[in-house]
Amino acid sequence: MKDIDDSKAPLLEHLIELRRRVLWSLAVLAALFFAALYFAKDIFAFLVQPLLAAGQGRVIFTDVFEAFFVDVKVALFTALMLGFPFFAIQIWKFVAPGLYVKEKRALLPFLLLTPVFFIGGAAFAYYVAMPWALHFLLGFEGEVGGVQRDALPGVGNYLSFCTRFLFGFGAAFLLPILLMILERAGVVQVEQLKKARRYAIVGAFAVAAVLTPPDAISQFMLALPLYALYEFAIAAIRLTHWRRSRRESLSARDVEGPRTNEGPEAPPGGGRVGGSGPI
């Protein structure tokens, strides 16, 4: 049984294969972009629902071209989100021929789980984090020193707010997959992850400060799930170790074979030991 596929091709053939994968990815991205551009207003209407639920029913644009470029950014954002599984498959097909069979079996589940975790993070941002953050940020409206302070978010600013939340939470929710790949590759060990919990807490808040707007609510909404995912990664790694050791013990028992209790050999004819035969 071959461990590596027959892929001893020269460098030029690998570059041609890479170009073919990139062109296919760009073609799919372009098709998704123009399809999403047709529905850009409907997609933006979906993105503004958390803002509407927070009590803000109006957005403005001050630049003549701002509304047009917002539709273009919405279409590009949607094309990247929808095309991500196809792009990941193209990367896998380019890399997989150079991997051992064990490496393929180890990496394929992580490749399949990556879109699931990313979509889960984006959904958490849309349905939980963004409404909380908007309620907090829009709470600064009101009278200040006799002057009425109103929130009039621009369409471009709000779209940047949405994309930072969705991409930030989606990428942050990939932490368990990254840690499990690093552990499988031997870069880190589960004991090191256990000892680094205090650094993980600091790192979670640092990542949240970079990926979210500069308010405490948004940072807590990302930092707490991020650390929970860190603990989830440790538990998942320990579970995989337990399953692997159990599988190895069962296979070793099968190789040894079942044990038999060897007793005294029965006498011929089925008679009793030490007794007289039939008369």
How far is C-alpha 265 from the geometric centre of its chain's CA atoms?
63
Rounded to two decimals, what is the model's pTM?
A: 0.73
216 is written with which tokens? 């405490």
**The pLDDT value given to residue 217:** 75
- In the chain, where are the structural domains located? 11-138+152-255
Give the C-alpha separation, 206 to 129, whole Å. Answer: 17
How confident is the chain (279 residues) per 10-residue block, as mean pLDDT? Answer: 53 84 94 95 92 84 87 93 87 79 75 86 89 82 77 87 87 86 80 88 86 74 87 86 78 63 51 45
**The pLDDT value given to residue 3:** 53
Burial of 29 (0-12, 13-18, 19+ CB in 10 A): middle
**The pLDDT value given to residue 277:** 46
Burial of 180 (0-12, 13-18, 19+ CB in 10 A): buried
**The pLDDT value given to residue 272:** 47
